[in-house]
Amino acid sequence: MTATRSSHVRWFLIFWLFVLSAVSFLDRVNISIASNSIVEQYGFNNIQLGYIFSALLAGYAIFQTIGGMLADRFGSRRVLAAGVLWWGIFTALTAAVPSQVGHALLLFISVRFLLGAGEAVVYPASNHFVARWFPVQERGIANGLIFAGVGVGAGFTPPLISYLIFYYGWRGSFWVCSILGCLAGAVWFVAARDTPQEHGRVSKAELEQIHTGLTVPSSFNRKSESPLIPWSRVLRSKDVWAVTISYFCFGYVAWIFFSWFYRYLATVRGLNLKASAFYAMLPFLAMAVTCPLGGLISDRLTKWRGPRLGRCGVAVLGIGLAAAFIAFGAQVSNARVASVVLAGGAGALYLSQSSFWSVTAGIAGPSSGFVSGFMNTGGQLGGFVTATLTPFVAARFGWTASFLLAAALCVVGAVAWLLVDPEASLVEP
């Protein structure tokens, strides 16, 4: 490679983080599609199924900050590769729970908790990578592309898992997911490096382009570390708390779609298996489109009018629109129309996704994995609450009430962004 010709290594690695993101959500959402088969085989009820869903989110939430700290300390390459191998193993172990074993519920809860612990590294480590490989003006689209994998992975899960279950049974579908994860992790380990200067295929032109917009010192690497931000400074930051509270609301709403939407369409709206699988794809396909779109809009507005409008404004707009779509869609009588409107709510919500991760990368510098992991703990606690509270509210007050509660939390999440200063810094000068 010549010095005058720029390479595009960072974009290939972002594409592979998109792949890992898609695989991670395939491994999370597959159990909701397989839930009917699991319920029939083990005799679980919806409340017990909620415990199983919650177990993954509990492990995922608890290990978020730890995963981010590991990425900051050891680099995104090794930490992500180890995490993918871990969750591939526990995806396979989910399928290994015997049909006639005693305490099957406890085994499912334990395996899914450990699966969640392994998956906890994926987004904090990805944000660590973005902070070191991408200038500020490209972080919105970079994060948007990573999180587009959420929509693609979750969106193609219903037809893929339904197909695999039909031909190979629900256990076979989990084996396929495990193999895909391990292969994707191996490619990442071979292709990635922790910093652009460590990568032999990064040209001088690309390296200069990256360094012009970094908030992390260009000399930062695993052998010569900048001091990490102490806990006390993070806990005193109103900006960290505001994005974390907003991400709790975001996670609560998002996980209604990941955990319950398929069963809602099949059991409440009365759609058949084929229709449920199709309409259950729509929220995730909307996410796949709006994640990079929101990131692109955020970058353009940030360049034009600054991060207050580009990061915070896009987040407020996206989450606010999600509240309107979800509140309206929950009350539409036609099942198919309601599915489309609710999918619009999921898409609007994910317009804001890149703002969360771009802001935490910007304010945290060399501790981007740690701080974004802390924020994501809030998001996963929201998902954990969803897994158990949604069926409870639905049983007591109806499914419309469950969606209206989600819409109300969207309003809270949008308001929290008004308190965020996207140009604040936790790094001491």
Instruction: Let me know if residue 184 belongs to a domain.
Output: yes
Mean pLDDT of 343-365: 92
pLDDT in tens, 59-74: 888 899 999 999 988 9
Mean pLDDT of 115-137: 91
What is the pLDDT at residue 268?
83
What are the C-alpha distances in Å from 249 to residues 28, 143, 394, 396, 413?
19, 19, 18, 22, 5
Q: Which range marks the domain in which residue 337 is found? A: 9-214+231-419
Poorest-confidence range of 19-23, 51-55, 421-425?
A: 51-55
What is the pLDDT at residue 110?
94
Percent of the chain with pLDDT over 90: 53
> Using 50, 70 and 90 to split pLDDT, how confident is the model at 426?
confident
pLDDT in tens, 201-259: 999 999 988 888 775 554 444 444 556 788 888 899 999 999 999 999 999 999 898 87
Q: For residue 394, what are its two tokens?
A: 């639905």
Return the higher-pLDDT residue of 126 and 428: 126
Cα–Cα distance measured from residue 40 to residue 21, given in angstroms and rounded to the nearest whole number:
30
Mean pLDDT of 254-266: 83
pLDDT of 1 > 70? The answer is no
Instruction: Let me know if residue 109 belongs to a domain.
Output: yes
Instruction: Let me know if residue 220 belongs to a domain.
Output: no
Residue 236 backbone phi and psi in degrees, to 5: -90, -5
**pTM (2 decimals)?**
0.83
Instruction: Let me know if residue 377 belongs to a domain.
Output: yes
What is the pLDDT at residue 273?
66
pLDDT in tens, 19-32: 999 999 888 878 88
Total domains in the chain come to 1
What is the pLDDT at residue 227?
65
pLDDT in tens, 86-119: 999 999 999 998 877 778 899 999 999 999 999 9
Mean pLDDT of 333-361: 92
Instruction: Let me know if residue 284 belongs to a domain.
Output: yes
pLDDT of 417 > 80? The answer is yes
Percent of the chain with pLDDT over 70: 95
pLDDT of 192 > 80? The answer is yes
> Using 50, 70 and 90 to split pLDDT, how confident is the model at 2?
very low
What is the pLDDT at residue 275?
78
CATH number of the domain that residue 27 is part of:
1.20.1250.20
Instruction: Let me know if residue 4 belongs to a domain.
Output: no
> Using 50, 70 and 90 to split pLDDT, how confident is the model at 270?
confident
pLDDT of 197 > 50? The answer is yes
Interior CA angle at 223 toward 220 and 227, to 5°?
55
pLDDT of 187 > 90? The answer is yes
Instruction: Let me know if residue 334 belongs to a domain.
Output: yes
Mean pLDDT of 352-362: 92
Cα–Cα distance measured from residue 119 to residue 64, given in angstroms and rounded to the nearest whole number:
9
From the CB of residue 201, how many other CB atoms can be counted at a distance below 10 Å?
13
Instruction: Let me know if residue 1 belongs to a domain.
Output: no
What is the pLDDT at residue 217?
52
pLDDT of 366 > 50? The answer is yes
pLDDT in tens, 140-160: 999 999 989 988 887 788 788
